[in-house]
Structure 1
């Protein structure tokens, strides 16, 4: 298969003209200047498919439905728990398939699904302890995306003044008996060409430092993920119990490194920037979710400028749009500093392609040997018509996407038709899960 692109962004900061990309058996085998003649597809702008580094698929059911009365993060969480309690492996498969399809149509060719909804509504394990995780794996297969199943430990119900609290209510569906049970359960899941099993912990509210250390040791250098420092209340609780700020706690115990992805970090302070640069830990920013939940401005732009690595995620799916999420990093930095254009464009582009953080180290650039996960944009789409193509990361949206290839296969022949069909299916599925009809 050959794809001709008038313009191809083959890597951050490397925009080329009149490029022919040759694909065989799911991999790019050729990249050269050429003409459209003999190509299977002709596109205006080609880029690597994006990585959604942090997703909770079932949260998509809350979009526009957890507003009134959920006046802070903790009230919103109550609405999230109620929706989670309505799901079983069958409904989870149905909803997650639609959500992963929405991601693909929005430019994401791989997703890191931060999975903690493990067990049945009675808090008992299904006959297959990983029934919910396998539903997500099947959903990704049907949706034609790569999946990093980030199956995380969730062992406690929170952190109070006296220490860790027991799981309560719906939280009991999330929990394993202990670290060994968690590791044993996740060990029953296998990698494949399109799936990576990634481990981690929900948060330091749900897993203690000593338990996290056991998990990180068992991972032995593989990628792992953790929610951290999203809310002020969370940081205060950790300082009150452990006596130190969270990043200091993790670094002092040797838990941070390039294989670590810390999600959010909205409450990072200036003196902690060096820790992130020094350890190589990745920050996964989810700015549109962080806006919606009142977490505060994303500090991802500040971290990028300091030399730390940043990826993007859509988290609770207020929006699912790869380019919008990256541009929001820039917007938050402008609002924080009251200045414009402090971030280099190539820094923003780099946040889209952190596929290695979910186990796919051969995706995220256009070059011979890379896996052929690609996205094309129409430069005549009104929202970006006349824009300097290098700046599409600041101004583009999913509306401009015309083609998506995953593993060398074009995933749809009618992207507008699939969008219309998907919208109707999402509306019906979410209403049915909520019990509306």
Structure 2
């Protein structure tokens, strides 16, 4: 057993003082507030590890290269497709390893990778059709982060349109072929889970949706939902219903479903999602000009909220957490939309990705901890829960995942200079 002492720790009842945390075999065995320093002594605030519930790791290579572009989500997508053409399993492994390490440095201890880059393109297949999936699992393993690999079904280039160009790298042909490939993938390791994804109702025709739902087989099922008004308009024109209604008819909305973005919803859509999750991605939704989703209305309807970094324009769970509150303030014209505990629950919503024993510093929970500096120029003088509105990724000093310290004193213990790795891999992709 190992013991760690923190001046403050955010426990299920809120921040507490002088907390000793005992850990054995990757599990928290005791949490004792009001204790004198003992064991390994830290100087900051301990919080539960953050959950990145929606990630496209390769989008990190677009950071700083598209943000000044005019246009829309759809013109940005063309730039993303250019990048997707250049990736191969080896280069994606090296890039994702560095991206996942950046996430750990920021305080993420799990990531749900919404993975749709599968094939060489033009109808070809790798000798192992899950070559990219293996690359992502290996990358996460070296970065030390928990991974839920969400294999995405992507069969159409739009409503009634076949895939074309780079989209053929995403396309398995039909949902049955997708399910066979997914079923053949058996990753090893205690820090890996698998799930499934419907890329969107644009990319999976209605008649194929039930097969994807069946293929998910009780695992997490994620889906991009109503991110853009155009998606809703085209769905109404083709199917006579909203995307949420289409998913409901296919049996896709369950307690294990995560709707990503869910920006443009009707009151009926919100009610239909009441037993599911919604993952908001504030930094990406702002970057792409997507709009502001009805977060407070969703929470009031019983929808469980989660957060993700999505396009990696920012990898900072502290930013995403306060942006959940700030965006809802902008939309409503009122302050105090979420309690601090609600914000932390959304930030640590590992259960949305299948990790049911995370998200709190409490006995019996798996030992994922983040220590944040409370004396930086950003956090000095901040009181208790206000840390969510002050800290940034730069203030994270130490990160434990499954009882192992992956980051100590702001250094990733496996990869070392993560910035150099990112610079090298991204530079190579754009040469």
Q: Distance in 1 between matches of 2:43 and 2:123?
A: 50
Give the match for residue 335 of structure 1: 330
Q: Distance in 1 between matches of 2:103 and 2:304?
A: 23
Is the CA contact 2:8–2:44 (under 8 Å) kept in the aligned structure 1? yes
Q: Distance in 2 between matches of 1:187 and 1:51?
A: 26
What is the CA-CA distance between 1:365 and the residue it aligns to?
1.1
Q: Secondary structure at the match of 1:382?
A: coil
Q: C-alpha offsets along residues 139-173 of structure 1, whole Å, 9 cap, x if unaligned?
A: 000100000001110111111xxxx2111000000
Stretch deviating more after TM superposition (210-219 or 374-383): 210-219
Give the match for residue 138 of structure 1: 138
Give the match for residue 200 of structure 1: 197
Q: Does 1:324 align with 2:324?
A: no
Q: Secondary structure at the match of 1:109?
A: strand
What is the CA-CA distance between 1:362 and the residue it aligns to?
1.3
Give the match for residue 55 of structure 1: 55
Q: Does 1:225 align with 2:222?
A: yes
Aligned residues: 428
Stretch deviating more after TM superposition (71-80 or 23-32): 23-32
Normalised TM-score (structure 2):
0.95
Give the match for residue 75 of structure 1: 75
Q: Does 1:409 align with 2:404?
A: yes
Distance change in 2, residues 1:122/1:414 (3 Å): farther
Q: Distance in 2 between matches of 1:220 and 1:136?
A: 22
Q: Secondary structure at the match of 2:181?
A: helix
Normalised TM-score (structure 1):
0.94
* Of 130, 149, 171, the match for 1:175: 171
Q: Distance in 2 between matches of 1:361 and 1:151?
A: 20
Matches within 5 A, 1:25-424: 25-159=25-159, 164-190=160-186, 192-277=189-274, 280-415=275-410, 421-424=417-420
Is the CA contact 1:28–1:371 (under 8 Å) kept in the aligned structure 2? yes
Q: Distance in 2 between matches of 1:38 and 1:99?
A: 35
What is the CA-CA distance between 1:69 and the residue it aligns to?
4.4
Q: Distance in 2 between matches of 1:123 and 1:331?
A: 45
Stretch deviating more after TM superposition (418-427 or 398-407): 418-427
Distance change in 2, residues 1:350/1:413 (3 Å): closer
What is the CA RMSD across the aligned residues, in angstroms?
1.8
What is the CA-CA distance between 1:273 and the residue it aligns to?
2.5
Is the CA contact 2:18–2:37 (under 8 Å) kept in the aligned structure 1? no
What is the CA-CA distance between 1:78 and the residue it aligns to?
0.4
Q: Distance in 2 between matches of 1:153 and 1:120?
A: 16
Q: Distance in 1 between matches of 2:209 and 2:36?
A: 53
Distance change in 2, residues 1:43/1:125 (3 Å): farther
Q: C-alpha offsets along residues 212-245 of structure 1, whole Å, 9 cap, x if unaligned?
A: 2222123333210000100011111111111011
Q: Secondary structure at the match of 1:204?
A: coil
Q: Distance in 1 between matches of 2:41 and 2:207?
A: 53
Stretch deviating more after TM superposition (183-192 or 30-39): 30-39
What is the CA-CA distance between 1:414 and the residue it aligns to?
3.5
What is the CA-CA distance between 1:123 and the residue it aligns to?
4.5
Moved over 4 A (4+): 416-420
Q: C-alpha offsets along residues 297-322 of structure 1, whole Å, 9 cap, x if unaligned?
A: 23324422443211000000110001
Is the CA contact 2:123–2:168 (under 8 Å) kept in the aligned structure 1? yes
Q: Secondary structure at the match of 2:44?
A: strand
Q: Secondary structure at the match of 1:9?
A: strand
Q: Secondary structure at the match of 1:323?
A: helix
Q: Distance in 2 between matches of 1:255 and 1:123?
A: 28
Q: Distance in 1 between matches of 2:125 and 2:412?
A: 39
Q: Secondary structure at the match of 1:221?
A: coil
Is the CA contact 1:47–1:374 (under 8 Å) kept in the aligned structure 2? yes
Q: C-alpha offsets along residues 339-358 of structure 1, whole Å, 9 cap, x if unaligned?
A: 11122111111101111221
Distance change in 2, residues 1:420/1:223 (3 Å): closer
Q: Distance in 2 between matches of 1:298 and 1:319?
A: 19
Is the CA contact 2:281–2:308 (under 8 Å) kept in the aligned structure 1? yes
Distance change in 2, residues 1:391/1:240 (3 Å): same
Is the CA contact 1:381–1:399 (under 8 Å) kept in the aligned structure 2? no
